[in-house]
Structure formats: structure tokens, C-alpha cells
Structure 1
Amino acid sequence: MIESLPQSIWTEMHAAKRRADRKISRLRVEAGGDSFRVLRLTSEGFVVEAETTPKLRGLVDLYDGGRHLSQCLIVAAAQEGDEMVYDFKRNTAAADGAPLDFERPDDAPIALLGR
């Protein structure tokens, strides 16, 4: 059914889908102090708009709203239409605190209470 649509309608449908994806996505990538919206996140990388995002390379940070998801080393993979696809060379999940260098007992106190 969708194959029989005229090219102009098909193009408008894809443009409307991209606009809707842009509004929904809270994902963003930060590189060099600038922030850019991520359209899709995959297991191998992520996709951004080619028109509004400069060529990214190296170490970037991925955020979901204000929550830091991961720090990534990326390379440009391919440009597909008006989207740029980046692949992860390394994707390290962000942690809330420093890693412990010892085993924490299950019954250890969480905090100390004052008098």
C-alpha cells in the first residue's frame, strides 16, 4: 500500500515522522561544550541530524535529559539522507559515585546518625 503512494506524499510522511521524533527524543550528545539532539540510540551507536550537527569525533557524553548515561569514543560511520550515523569505539556507562576498591558487606550501615 505505501509503495503506491506518490513521492511527494511519501517525502512529507517521512518529514513529519522526523519532526515527531525530534520532539519526543530527550537524548542529547555533548561535545566540546556544545549540545546536540540525538534522534535514535542503537546498540552500535547513535543518529543525529546532519544539517544541525557538525562533524563529531572523539570523546563525547550522552545524556537523557539531565541524567548522564555514558561517555563514548565515537567515529562517523555513514550519512543516510539528512541523518548522520556514529559508531561507538568505546561506550562506558556513567556511574553516580566513585567505584569501590573493596567489598561492601550487605549489612553495612548506610549513614551515621548524629546525637
Structure 2
Amino acid sequence: MTTYLPPEVQAGLDDARKRALKKSQRLSVQAGEETFRVLEAWDDGFALELAVADHLRGMVDLYDGPTLLSQCLIVASEEDGDQMRFEYKRMTEATGEQPVDFEKPENAPVALIGKG
């Protein structure tokens, strides 16, 4: 049995694999005005398409669809075929609360009830 594929067939299979990866991932990375689709993600990094994101580094925002997940400081770690792998140097989870500069007591009231 032979494992040789003509170059056109191999290129078609590679393109189909890339399209399937892009569709299966909802994650995206935004750097300034540019947005990039995440091909793969793991605990300490992610991969983007090499052709569009080989220059990316610094602070980026990580989104799941329209929802901001975290703000990350990233560095390019290695090329893996047609993907560029990035690692997190710092990752700050996004929360729905504004930061405060004081400690909130655990039993603090949630709201005040006015006199009727």
C-alpha cells in the first residue's frame, strides 16, 4: 500500500482541515483593530494561522464569540507547520465587576430598603 498523495490533493486536504479547525473554534484574539481566529487552544497558549499572525505579540484580548474572557500578554513560541503557537506570559480573567480600592465585608448589605 502506498501513502503518496498528489500535491493538489494534499493541498486540498490541508485547506479542508484548516477550515474545519476555524469553524470548530469560537475563540478569537483581538490585537488593536485586528481580530484573528484561534485554531487551537490549551491551558497555557493557543495557535493562530501563520500567514496572518506571525507578527503578533504583546497585549491581546481573548474572546469566546462576543464575550471577553481575558486580557493576555503573549509571546510567539514556535512555528508548527502552518500554525504559529503563542504562550501566555500573563493572563488576567475578565470579570463583570469594576475593581475597587477597598476591602468589601462579606456580610455587607446588597441594597438599602427605603421607608414606605
Question: Do both proteins adopt the same fold according to a TM-score greater than 0.5, normalized to the shorter chain?
Answer: yes
Gaps (5+ residues) in structure 2?
none
Separation of aligned partners in 1, 2:51 and 2:83: 8
Match of 1:18 in 2: 18
Give the TM-score taking structure 1 as reference length.
0.79
How much has 1:5 moved relative to structure 2?
Answer: 3.1
Match of 1:36 in 2: 36
RMSD: 2.5
How much has 1:32 moved relative to structure 2?
Answer: 1.7
Equivalent pairs, count: 111
Distance 1:102 1:78, change over 3 A: same
How much has 1:26 moved relative to structure 2?
Answer: 1.5
Give the TM-score taking structure 2 as reference length.
0.79
Separation of aligned partners in 2, 1:19 and 1:112: 53
> 79-88 vs 94-103, which deviates more?
94-103
How much has 1:11 moved relative to structure 2?
Answer: 5.1
Residue type of the alignment partner of 1:7: L
Match of 1:52 in 2: 52
Match of 2:106 in 1: 104
How much has 1:89 moved relative to structure 2?
Answer: 0.5
Separation of aligned partners in 1, 2:11 and 2:3: 10
**Equivalent residue of 1:55, what SS?**
coil
Residue type of the alignment partner of 1:103: P
Gaps (5+ residues) in structure 1?
none
Distance 1:65 1:6, change over 3 A: same
Structure with the greater alpha carbon radius of gyration: 2
In the TM superposition, what whole-angstrom CA distance separates every residue of 1:11-68 from its partner, at most 9, and x where no partner exists? 5434322111112221110112211111111112110001122511111110001100
How much has 1:113 moved relative to structure 2?
Answer: 6.7
Question: Is 1:87 the equivalent of 2:87?
Answer: yes
How much has 1:112 moved relative to structure 2?
Answer: 5.3
Residue type of the alignment partner of 1:42: W
Would the aligned equivalents of 2:54 and 2:84 in 1 still touch at CA under 8 Å? no
